[in-house]
Amino acid sequence: MFLRRHKENQMEMVGFGGSLTRVLSKENQWVRLSEIIPWKEIEDRYAKLFADSGMGAPAKSARIAFGALVIQAMKNYTDEETAAQVAENPYLQYFLGMKEYQVVPLFDASMMVHFRRRFGFENAKDINDMIIQYIQRAERPTKEEPPSSRDNDGDITKQNDQGNTQQHNDEPSPNKGTLLLDATCAPSDIQYPTDLRLLNEGREKLERIIDTLYKADQREDKPKKPRTYRNKARMQYLVVAKKPKFRALQMRKAIGKQLRYVKRDLKIIEEMLRQQSQDTLNQKQRKELETIRTLYNQQSTMYQTKIRRIDHRIVSISQPHIRPIKRGKKKSPTEFGAKIAISVVNGLAQIEKLSWENFNEGATMKESVERYRQTYGYYPEVVLVDKLYRNRENIRYCQERGIRITGPRLGRKNPQIQKEERKIMIQDARVRNAVEGKIGEGKRKYGLGLIRGKVKETSETMIAFTMIAMNLARWLRGLFFFIFPMAILGRNRRNSEQFRGCSWSKSTYCESTTTLLNMTTSLTGRR
């Protein structure tokens, strides 16, 4: 008893800590999730990535690393939030394999970067494939046949190479299931780039590099520090950057001035590096210097030729791997991040391709279909895509394999056929909404809408774990709807049972609760 009500509408907190002495609930999502994830397979396959080197602190287990990344993806936490929540929440500790509540934090927030580096993008994709296989095996006895393109009479609807629909009643199709394909951009957490802002940022970093090199020069006869005109350059930048509106000519003049300052600073650094070793600069500074050189070459080319586009364009000095992705959407026509092609089968999402450069998603359809065949042993009956996938090559490819691809027929229009096609397209659009919903779910709930990683490799791992989190959440929802009727009937019996093979008990929490009460008593002076 440490807090009392001092307002009429405030809840009383007297003895609130006593609720921690209860046994963990089996209905909790983290408890259920810990029971369905194939921990042993993950440990056996990836334990070597987290082997103890014998130096420094003991290495964390693969379960702790994988579980922490799953928690972060499912709750869209930052690294600091993930470490704090694990330290405070007993359910999360149980999920990570702890036998009892740990008062000392399991890991520091900086370890999350280490976890992402160790797993990597390809290993995360393999784990996602393994989880999908487990989900499909678990649901196969209760799952109906995958949706097909058969009509009410049992006919099979196919398309020829012009997109014309044909009916075949004589033989059944060997293909099964429906494959949904789409692409999206996973934007990175960077400031909106402009040419002027990038040049100004590059100039400021170059000035700090000059300061470092001059300070490291230990020669007795070293020359006077080169003049960089940093104050004048900043004032010229702010004159244009602070204006709410400006003319194109003003912006061009400002870019030209910053280009000259950057060129001057680069020459100064090259001269200073001739007198010193490259080791004078740290790894971060050397990387930034190389990026700024590339940035200057790109901006100088665009300035001289008066063009607005260039290949492999740098939009962030700290993250040079990020590229502008033109999506043509009204709200955000250009996004900055990684472009990913996604496939969805029975509500389960997979990454078909990830690239930081823009690519035509239509070119990835054949690989996705072949991967479907390799996974399930047969081609899909229907492939639902948008118009970017519907080119003659893909249509011909699907027709040769008996696959129906959604969309209107190519060539001359037939009003009678168009009416039937319109009905099919409406039904296909309803089914295809699943992949759009999956992308929206990932961006809204699981962090796909803003990737906080700063390094290319770790950012890719975060995107892959987003898919893992969505598939696990979908598995949990399926278990809930399947078990819920049985859960109501056996609630009283289950609540009286303990976890099998787990030492979580009332005494585990009593110690932590007593510690909290003692700390609070010392602060408030009340019991």
pTM score of the predicted model: 0.80
Rounded CA Rg of the chain: 30
How far from the centroid of its chain's Cα atoms is residue 33's Cα?
A: 20
Q: Please state the φ and ψ torsions of residue 58, each to the nearest 5 degrees.
A: -60, 140
Using one digit for the tens of pLDDT, what is the confidence trace for 113-134? 999 999 999 999 999 999 999 8
> Model confidence over 293-346: pLDDT tens digits?
999 999 999 999 999 889 999 999 999 999 999 877 777 788 999 999 999 999
What is the pLDDT confidence band of residue 20, given thresholds at 50, 70 and 90? very low
pLDDT at 426 over 70: yes
Q: What is the pLDDT of residue 27?
A: 86
Task: Give me the pLDDT at residue 430, please.
Answer: 86
**When comparing pLDDT for 49 and 382, which is higher?**
382
Residue type, 131: I
158 - beta bridge partners? 166
Region 474-496: mean pLDDT is: 56
Q: Where are the domains of the chain?
A: 16-133+458-524, 147-188+324-452, 195-318
Q: Is the pLDDT of residue 397 over 60?
A: yes
**Confidence tier at 84 by pLDDT (50, 70, 90):** very high
* DSSP-based three-state secondary structure for 365: helix
Mean pLDDT in residue range 414-436: 78
**Among the ranges given (130-144, 208-222, 339-353, 453-467), the one the predictor scored with the smallest mean pLDDT:** 130-144
Average pLDDT over residues 249-265: 94
303 CB burial (10 A radius; 0-12, 13-18, 19+): middle
CA 321/CA 337 separation, integer angstroms: 9
Asked whether the predicted pLDDT for residue 389 surpasses 50, the reply is yes
pLDDT at 164: 44
Q: How far apart are the first and last CA of the chain?
A: 5
Region 65-94 average pLDDT: 94
* CA distance to 265, 278, 282, per residue, from 222 (Å): 18, 18, 22
One-letter amino acid at 148 equals S
Q: pLDDT-derived band of residue 247, with 50, 70 and 90 as boundaries?
A: confident
CA dist., res. 130 & res. 407, Å (int): 32
Kindly list the distances between the CA atom of residue 316 and the CA atoms of 258, 309, 329, 339, in Å, as whole numbers in the listed order: 17, 16, 22, 17
Q: What whole-number percentage of the chain has pLDDT above 90?
A: 53
Residue 408's pLDDT band (boundaries 50, 70, 90)?
low
pLDDT (mean) for 47-57: 68
- DSSP string spanning 33-55? HHHHS-HHHHHHHHGGGG---SS
Categorize the per-residue pLDDT at 421 as very low, low, confident or very high, splitting at 50, 70 and 90: confident
Strands (E), 177-255: 178-187
Distances (CA, A) of 42 to 135, 348, 443, 466, 467: 15, 19, 26, 17, 17
Which amino acid, one-letter code, is at 524? T
Task: Identify any residues that bridge with 258 across adjacent strands, giving them in sequence order.
Answer: none
Would you tell me which CATH number, out of the four given (1.10.3470, 3.30.980, 1.10.260, 3.30.420), belongs to the domain 147-188+324-452?
Answer: 3.30.420
Of the candidates 133, 153, 149, 165, the residue with the CA atom closest to the CA atom of residue 380:
149
Residue 222 has a pLDDT of: 80
What letters, b where the CB count within 10 A reaches 16 and e where it falls short, cover 202-232?
bbbbbbebbebbbeeeeeeeeeeeeebebee
Residue 245's H or E segment, with its range, is none
